[in-house]
Amino acid sequence: MDAVEKLRTVSAHMGLEPAEDYQPPAGSAHRGASLDQRAPAELRRLANESAPYTTPALCDDKQRALGVSYAAMPGGKRIALLKTLLTSACERNCFYCPFRAGRDFRRVTFKPEEMARAFLQLQQSRVAEGLFLSSGIMHGGARIQDKLIAVAEVLRFKLGFKGYIHLKIMPGAERAQVERAMQLADRVSINLEAPNTHRLAALAPLKEFTEELVQPLRWVEEIRRTQPARFGWNGRWPSSTTQFVVGAAGETDLELLSTTEALHKQTRLARAYFSAFHPLPDTPLEHQPAENPWREFRLYQSSFLLRDYGFGVEELPFTPAGNLPLDVDPKVAWAQRNLSEAPVEINRADRQTLLRVPGIGPKGVEAVLSARRQHTLRDLRDLKALGVIVRRAAPYILLDGRQPARQLSLF
């Protein structure tokens, strides 16, 4: 089978993670949010209403068949990214995974040089611009990690590829391998899949939460902290991300977001991805219902509140069962409880307080701070011109001492 046919075979089974998937444009209230294309149209419509999401440019059929999709890079630029596996064979048995051991389908394996050359061919023919490389595990994670590193080494040093590479860190990888991957890649990631040991046991009984999954994320941060950035690719250390499967192990949103918050604080995680569970035939979870995509969306919104808006996990509006309400934006829910009786004076509030107002994102805060140095903001039109979503902000603010609610009919 030639390399292109192998890529098609892998792609046919891939529901790979949403890493780097599309993002809303700069300045939106929830920059960085991703809403899976599987989400119902109504959810996407509402998402567009609450934050101006862009529709991702679609790859053509040929690209999609190979596993190429448009993705947002850490700086916001969008490129055609080949997401693929070095091997679709795996000795592990994660309950949600299409590649789990024992599942009956045709497996393919690339040699490192073969993968590197196949990608370069796609890049030179403008089918793909960047590479996201993961793998099934055979003969232990360390052995596969060496091969993933070898692909990146061939691309960087033999074939002269200078573009985007995201390398997966395998469970069981060694510290020196993590360091080498960081010298070659623009981004590295390790999927935790679940928020703690107990939940992981219900999803992936052969993975060890702390030793195999959390520890490499700690190493990444330790290396970034203790070694000069010039050792990283292009003089920068890569960012790090993780992913959770949502809704397959009985985990609560509180558990997921507590772990996310700890990772942001302790390992400077760039981003947590949440992937709503979808049952696959011939897996132990095939009869379990799919997770509601609204849950995934609320988790993204909340994770941005933790990462970019100064919220603590204990401030999020969890139900007594530890989950987020699905019918309300978590920032709005917080504002309803905390700002309805104590609206924020836009002309005097500090940066952190402004960030708490629905409809005002980090860029909007900077715009407000800059504009009010020039003149007093008295009108919703002033705020709209600064990028604030005034319909959302109006119930919770004062403009020069007045509630602007009556102006709302103009918007």
- The residues binding ligand SF4 (CB under 6 A) are 90, 92, 94, 97, 99-100, 136-137, 204
**Measured from the CB of residue 254, what is the shortest distance to ligand SF4 in angstroms?**
24
**For residue 312, what are the contacts with CB-CB under 8 A and spacing of at least 6?**
261, 306
Q: Which residue carries 């691309």 as its tokens?
A: 155
The nearer residue to ligand SF4, 144 or 344, going by C-beta atoms, is 144
The nearer residue to ligand SF4, 92 or 117, going by C-beta atoms, is 92
**Measured from the CB of residue 32, what is the shortest distance to ligand SF4 in angstroms?**
25
**Measured from the CB of residue 93, what is the shortest distance to ligand SF4 in angstroms?**
6
Three-state SS across the chain? Answer: CCHHHHHHHHHHHCCCCCCCCCCCCCCCCCCCCCCCCCCCHHHHHHHHHHCCCCCCCCCCHHHHHHCEEEEECCCCCEEEEEEEECECCCCCCCCCCCCCCCCCCCCCECCHHHHHHHHHHHHHCCCCCEEEEECCCCCCHHHHHHHHHHHHHHHHHHCCCCCCEEEECCCCCCHHHHHHHHHHCCEEECCCECCCHHHHHCCCCCCCHHHHHHHHHHHHHHHHHHCCHHHCHHHCCCEEEEEEEECCCCCCHHHHHHHHHHHHHHHCCCEEEEEECCCCCCCCCCCCCCCCHHHHHHHHHHHHHHHHCCCCHHHCCCCCCCCCCCCCCHHHHHHHHHCCCCCEECCCCCHHHHHCCCCCCHHHHHHHHHHHHHCCCCCHHHHHHCCCCHHHHHHHEEECCECHHHHHHHC
**Measured from the CB of residue 170, what is the shortest distance to ligand SF4 in angstroms?**
8
The nearer residue to ligand SF4, 171 or 359, going by C-beta atoms, is 171
Sign of CA dihedral 317, 319, 320, 321: negative
HSE-CB for 80 with a 13 A CA cutoff: 20
**Measured from the CB of residue 212, what is the shortest distance to ligand SF4 in angstroms?**
10
**Measured from the CB of residue 97, what is the shortest distance to ligand SF4 in angstroms?**
3
The nearer residue to ligand SF4, 194 or 263, going by C-beta atoms, is 194
The nearer residue to ligand SF4, 101 or 262, going by C-beta atoms, is 101
**Measured from the CB of residue 101, what is the shortest distance to ligand SF4 in angstroms?**
7
The nearer residue to ligand SF4, 136 or 232, going by C-beta atoms, is 136
CA distance 79 to 22: 10
The nearer residue to ligand SF4, 213 or 354, going by C-beta atoms, is 213
**Measured from the CB of residue 108, what is the shortest distance to ligand SF4 in angstroms?**
13
The nearer residue to ligand SF4, 94 or 299, going by C-beta atoms, is 94
**Measured from the CB of residue 92, what is the shortest distance to ligand SF4 in angstroms?**
4
The nearer residue to ligand SF4, 60 or 211, going by C-beta atoms, is 211
**Measured from the CB of residue 100, what is the shortest distance to ligand SF4 in angstroms?**
4
Sign of CA dihedral 190, 195, 198, 199: negative
The nearer residue to ligand SF4, 97 or 173, going by C-beta atoms, is 97
Token pair recorded at residue 324? 């987020």
